């Protein structure tokens, strides 16, 4: 695999295990969000069933038709994987192979299995069919049952350094992103900060035409009357991701007040309009707003009936009030 160099060592390890007949029946891929767990699972699955990796990307693997391949993921973002989905997977791996040497099943976001689904999968792991490979991917492997983790070959993803990371994202943007989507180096650096340096998330955001939240966060303070248009723009994005990105700025502000902030010079220059605006804001007030953002994220996950527009308006109003607290 050539697209993500930090994934290649883990990929090569699995291929080598198969070549020396030491491949486990189940593999657990895990790493920080946005570092390519699903992409690595796609590449490994593609190798064993003879499909091009491009056909098995995280957003399209469910639509690939192959008699020896099965793709399983939550039915919607934030939804649990149900026991019925695991039963379908078990029936699949019990069938004989048609084209490939083994049946291959991928479970994306395996940590989202509910307890019944996890127990059903555990039974399959305890009594694996002869020629099958289960590939679990997760960015929260600690939430999996210990008995599931212990029955899988662990495959952790090792992130790159920041400079290598930036160079890779820059190269991918140049080669994969349409010329109609323009992004400056500063905008790219801001996105890297907001997504915690996760290269896959940043590339996906650029491909969607997204820019950083920083200009809107500054504008909300300087010209609060623009908050309505900011809300409309943010409603086009995934709300949980918006809140997570917002929390990174709040964390930077809090660390700055404690003199433990370790951002680069360029990042400090991007954040300067915020840090200067919040000079007189107490750390207690910042921490209180952190709790509000955390509450908002839990609200987004707990119900589908949240009025996201009103929620964002309330949070932006509190953001403006912080400057005066």
Output the domain CATH number for residue 141.
Answer: 3.40.50.300
Q: Token pair for residue 296?
A: 């908002």
d(CA 249, CA 274): 9
Secondary element (H or E) of residue 28? strand 26-30
Do 145 and 26 belong to one domain? yes
Do 12 and 147 belong to one domain? yes
d(CA 247, CA 294): 8
Q: Is the pLDDT of residue 259 over 80?
A: no
Q: Is the pLDDT of residue 255 over 50?
A: yes
Digit-coded pLDDT (tens) for 159-218? 888 888 888 988 888 887 766 567 888 899 999 999 999 999 999 999 888 999 999 999
Q: Token pair for residue 247?
A: 């929390």
- Its sign, for the CA torsion 110, 191, 232, 318, is positive
Range of the domain at 294: 213-325
d(CA 246, CA 196): 11
Do 222 and 241 belong to one domain? yes
Do 116 and 73 belong to one domain? yes
Which of 124, 156, 188 marks a domain boundary?
156
Do 147 and 26 belong to one domain? yes
d(CA 128, CA 26): 9
Mean pLDDT, residues 236-257:
93
The CA radius of gyration of the chain, in Å to the nearest whole number, is 22
Do 53 and 88 belong to one domain? yes
Digit-coded pLDDT (tens) for 98-137? 888 899 999 999 999 999 999 999 999 998 887 899 999 9
d(CA 318, CA 306): 18
Which of 147, 177, 211 marks a domain boundary?
211
How remote is the C-alpha of 59 from its chain's centroid?
12
Do 183 and 268 belong to one domain? no
Query: Within 10 Å of residue 256's Cβ, how many Cβ atoms?
Result: 18
Which of 211, 236, 252 marks a domain boundary?
211
Do 233 and 298 belong to one domain? yes
Do 43 and 152 belong to one domain? yes
Q: What is the domain count for the chain?
A: 3
Do 150 and 167 belong to one domain? no
Do 193 and 239 belong to one domain? no
Pairing of strands 153-156, 69-72: unpaired
Do 80 and 192 belong to one domain? no
Pairing of strands 69-72, 26-30: unpaired
Digit-coded pLDDT (tens) for 49-77? 988 766 665 445 777 888 899 999 998 87
Percent of the chain's residues with pLDDT above 70:
94
- CA trace torsion 262, 268, 271, 273 (10° rounding): 130
Q: If you search the block for the tokens 């500063």, which residue do you land on?
A: 186
The confidence score (pLDDT) of residue 284 equals 93
């Amino acid at each position: 695999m050539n697209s993500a160099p930090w994934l290649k060592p883990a990929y090569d390890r699995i291929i080598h295990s198969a070549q020396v007949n030491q491949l486990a029946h189940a593999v657990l891929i895990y790493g920080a969000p946005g570092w390519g767990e699903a992409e690595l699972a796609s590449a490994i699955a593609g190798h064993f069933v003879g499909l091009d990796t491009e056909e098995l990307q995280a957003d399209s693997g469910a639509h690939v038709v192959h008699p020896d391949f099965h793709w399983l993921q939550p039915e919607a973002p934030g939804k649990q994987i149900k026991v019925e989905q695991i039963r379908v997977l078990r029936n699949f791996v019990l069938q004989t192979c048609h084209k490939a040497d083994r049946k291959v099943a991928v479970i994306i976001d395996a940590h989202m299995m509910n307890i019944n689904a996890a127990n059903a999968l555990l039974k399959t792991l305890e009594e694996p069919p002869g020629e099958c490979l289960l590939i679990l991917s997760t960015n929260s492997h600690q939430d999996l049952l210990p008995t599931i983790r212990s029955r899988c070959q662990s495959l952790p993803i090792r992130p790159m350094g920041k400079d290598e990371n930036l160079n890779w994202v820059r190269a991918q943007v140049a080669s994969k992103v349409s010329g109609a989507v323009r992004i400056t180096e500063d905008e790219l650096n801001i996105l890297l900060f907001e997504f915690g340096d996760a290269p896959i998330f940043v590339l996906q955001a650029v491909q969607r035409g997204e820019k950083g939240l920083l200009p809107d966060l500054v504008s909300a303070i300087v010209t609060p009357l623009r908050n309505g248009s900011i809300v409309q723009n943010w409603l086009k994005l995934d709300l949980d991701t918006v809140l997570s990105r917002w929390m990174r700025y709040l964390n930077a502000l809090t660390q700055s007040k404690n003199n433990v902030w370790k951002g680069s010079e360029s990042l400090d220059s991007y954040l300067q309009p915020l840090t200067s605006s919040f000079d007189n804001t107490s750390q207690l007030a910042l921490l209180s707003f952190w709790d509000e953002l955390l509450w908002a994220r839990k609200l987004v996950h707990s119900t589908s009936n949240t009025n996201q527009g009103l929620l964002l308006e309330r949070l932006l109003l509190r953001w403006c009030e912080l400057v005066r607290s």
